[in-house]
């Protein structure tokens, strides 16, 4: 038996967190009945699971890709709200983006159909670090560097301390150990800055390197964690 959200993640439908949203929205059926609550376990062999009225099966082949996301693409499995990063990767497996990069940001994003790998990259308890390069509308003040590195409060949530690697000529390199939605833009906005450019350059051990916008490569989990 397996939790339904884990099954959906392992089948490449969505990350575990997004799978929970699909369940709560009533978009998943188990043996013909819509499921609208979490905590349901399924038999991956004998139960029939459907998403959008189509059967969902576990993939036996796990795949992992590193993509240089261009500005203008969304971190989603569908094109319902814009051009999806999934369409930039050619594979027969159903894959989804690991974590988020907003439409106006670029840089390194991972895509996979491995739910356990996704959890290790995105869940705060594992502390997988992500490094970003940002261009601001003004130089970052020393007092604000201290606020960021102490751990800011954002929408009543205490953030983990971030690390400012460098800050000069209106540019900043920053490392995060968690992934709150649009965290960097919101942090700097709260301090009075506007981010003109934001690019993720590293996830775990894996660097963006010489990838070009829109290009991707196959990777192994050990390349990242």
pLDDT in tens, 154-174: 989 999 999 999 999 999 999
Compute the mean pLDDT over every residue in the chain, rounded to the nearest whole number.
Answer: 93
Bridge partners (DSSP) listed for residue 195: 136
Inform me whether the pLDDT recorded for 123 exceeds 90. Answer: no
Q: Model pTM? A: 0.81
Q: How far is CA 64 from CA 67, 94, 200, 201, in A?
A: 10, 11, 18, 17
pLDDT of residue 45: 81
Q: Is 67 exposed, middle or buried (0-12, 13-18, 19+ CB in 10 A)?
A: buried
**Domains by residue range for the chain, with CATH:** 2-55 (3.10.290.10), 64-123+206-223 (3.30.70.580), 129-203 (3.30.70.1560)
Inform me whether the pLDDT recorded for 82 exceeds 90. Answer: no
- The residues assigned a catalytic role are 102
Backbone angles phi, psi at 142, to 5 degrees: -55, -40
Greatest pairwise CA separation for the chain in angstroms? 60
Q: Say how far apart CA 100 and CA 85 lie, in whole Å.
A: 11
pLDDT of residue 223: 97
Q: What is the 3-state secondary structure (H, E, C) of 100-155?
A: CCCCCCEEEEEEECCHHHHHHHHCHHHCCCEEEEEEECCCCCHHHHHHHHHCCEEC
């Amino acid at each position: 038996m397996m939790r339904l959200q884990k099954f959906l993640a392992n089948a490449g439908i969505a990350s575990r967190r997004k799978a929970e949203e699909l369940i709560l929205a009533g978009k998943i059926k188990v043996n013909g009945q819509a499921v609208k609550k979490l905590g349901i376990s399924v038999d991956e062999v004998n139960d029939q699971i459907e998403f959008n009225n189509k059967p969902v099966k576990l993939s036996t082949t796990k795949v992992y890709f590193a993509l240089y996301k261009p500005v203008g693409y969304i971190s989603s499995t569908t094109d319902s709200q814009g051009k999806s990063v999934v369409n930039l990767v050619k594979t027969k497996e159903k894959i989804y983006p690991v974590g988020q990069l907003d439409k106006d940001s670029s840089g390194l994003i991972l895509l996979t159909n491995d739910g356990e790998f996704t959890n290790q990259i995105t869940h705060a308890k594992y502390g997988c670090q992500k490094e970003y390069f940002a261009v601001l509308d003004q130089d970052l003040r020393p007092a604000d560097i201290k606020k960021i590195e102490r751990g800011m409060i954002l929408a009543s949530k205490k953030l983990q301390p971030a690390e400012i690697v460098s800050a000069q000529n209106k540019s900043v390199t920053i490392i995060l150990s968690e992934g709150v939605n649009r965290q960097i833009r919101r942090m700097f906005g709260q301090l009075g800055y506007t981010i003109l450019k934001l690019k993720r350059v590293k996830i775990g051990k894996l660097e963006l390197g010489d990838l070009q916008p829109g290009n991707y490569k196959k990777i192994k989990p050990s390349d990242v964690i």
